[in-house]
Amino acid sequence: MPSYDPNNIFAKIVRGELPAYKVYEDDRCVAFLDIMPRTIGHTLVIPKSQVRNILDVAPDDLAHVMQIAQRIAKAGIKAFGANGVTIQQFNEPAGGQVVFHLHVHVIPRHDGVAMKPPASEKEKPEALAEHAVRPPEASVHVPIGERVVPDYVGAELRVEERGPGPDRGASDGR
Ligand code: AMP
């Protein structure tokens, strides 16, 4: 297997050298919207560790990425009113991988609606910016580490971790 290239696009997103529409971040992984989404809400979950794909990731890191993928899947179903979710993960060119930093696709699905072909259409930045903070009524600013990240999964985590408090979602007037 070829070695990991620390200058791949997702490594740059992890280091903050490239922008991304982040919807979740912790000390071990980050999730952000795919810029060529196959459905509305198509999100990628990646580890912060420098790993190429499922063949070189540490089992613990993989388990964490999948736990977050499950949270994103649940939050995405709520945020986008989806009926289901498709999870995809590709390894090496023969396996369909294009970006060589491990990532799990979380793709909300609606009954009877096909996914667009891979990398077929770049989404408008303003649409991605809006999708990243859905649903509007639950949109809150959740401190993650030292940064403040507005995100729909943050809203979901807030519910899970603290319970639905009386002021939930009210602080920013949305
Ligand atoms: P694959 O390696 O086949 O799983 O596909 C890589 C995915 O990354 C594709 O769905 C692309 O649309 C997506 N992608 C590529 N560059 C970016 C980027 N800068 N931000 C978000 N998603 C990206």
- How far, in Å, from the CA of 169 to the mean position of ligand 1? 31
Per the structure, the complete domain to which residue 98 belongs is given by 9-162
- How far, in Å, from the CA of 167 to the mean position of ligand 1? 36
**Averaged confidence pLDDT in the chain:** 81
Q: What average pLDDT does range 130-159 have in this prediction?
A: 49
Tally the domains of the chain.
1
In a domain, 94, yes or no: yes
Radius of gyration of the chain (CA): 16
Of all residues in the chain, what percent carry a pLDDT higher than 70? 76
Distance, in Å, from the CA atom of 112 to the CA atom of 18, rounded to the nearest integer, reads 35
Sign of torsion over alpha carbons 171, 134, 36, 120: negative
The enclosing domain of 149 has a CATH number of 3.30.428.10
Nearest protein Cα to ligand 1, atom 9:
119
Q: Is the pLDDT of residue 130 over 90?
A: no
Asked if 131 is an active-site residue, the reply is: no
Q: Are the beta carbons of 68 and 24 closer than 8 angstroms?
A: yes
Q: What is the pLDDT of residue 73?
A: 92
Query: Which atom of ligand 1 is closest in space to residue 33's alpha carbon?
Result: 21
